[in-house]
Amino acid sequence: MVDQFKKTVIDRDMIMIHQHMQRTFALRREEIVNSAPPIAELKDRWPALFCEGQLYSEFHRINNQNLPYSFFAALDKYTPQLLKLYRKRKTGSFGKKMEEVLMAYEEQFKQQDKNDITAARTAALAGLPLYLKEDSSEVFKTCKDELEAIQDGAVALVAVVNEEEVPAGVPFETHQVSIVLEDQVVM
């Protein structure tokens, strides 16, 4: 399987990779749970885990649930309630930052199709750390260049944006999103 990941994306035998990942699930799970290897070692040993499709498959093997469907269904269910909650609680430094996020959301909402839920989802997720009074600056980052996505950080979501200014620090329109774990871009 490691040899398959040395090939270009087009040349990889994804069916063979999926079958191999299916067969080696118990071994992989035991290794990850018992020895908790560093991300670099895990990426070398099981490179398929760092592909979006295989990540979804692995989640399904563990939980017997469709990850994107479950996540977006829950997010869509709670987004209106979260936004309503954010609008009610506007006190202190939290209130000022939340007001900026909500104003940026309203501006995006006016510009986009009224049936587009993306801006609402983004505002709901961006508001969560503010509502919980957590500093999200080390976790949610934005940059203009894809090379900047390789940043220091134990865990980070880096949004690569096209424009210079990001309203209220919330990337409503992204070019790409990268996941950083242990100072490495893993997806």
Of 107, 100, 156, whose CA–CA distance to 127 is shortest?
100
Question: What's the pLDDT at 27?
Answer: 94
Of 176, 111, 98, whose CA–CA distance to 142 is shortest?
176
Do 150 and 111 belong to one domain? no
Ordered per-residue pLDDT tens for the chain, 187 residues: 677 777 777 888 888 989 999 999 999 999 999 999 999 999 899 989 998 999 999 999 999 999 999 999 999 999 999 999 988 876 777 778 888 888 888 888 777 766 678 888 988 988 888 888 888 777 777 777 766 656 566 677 777 777 666 776 777 777 777 787 877 777 7
Do 76 and 118 belong to one domain? yes
Question: What's the pLDDT at 165?
Answer: 66
Question: What's the pLDDT at 12?
Answer: 81
- The CA–CA distances, whole Å, from 132 to 118, 120, 126, 136, 186 equal 22, 18, 11, 10, 27
Which of 65, 92, 116 is at the close of a domain?
65
Question: What's the pLDDT at 148?
Answer: 62
Question: What's the pLDDT at 114?
Answer: 65
Question: What's the pLDDT at 115?
Answer: 67
d(CA 4, CA 128): 39
Do 27 and 56 belong to one domain? yes
Which of 94, 119, 134 is at the close of a domain?
134
Provide the residue range defining the domain that includes 158: 137-187
Do 8 and 31 belong to one domain? yes
pTM of whole model > 0.75? Answer: yes
Number of domains in the chain: 3
pLDDT in tens, 139-173: 777 777 766 656 566 677 777 777 666 776 777 77
Which of 119, 134, 149 is at the close of a domain?
134
Do 124 and 158 belong to one domain? no
Do 101 and 119 belong to one domain? yes
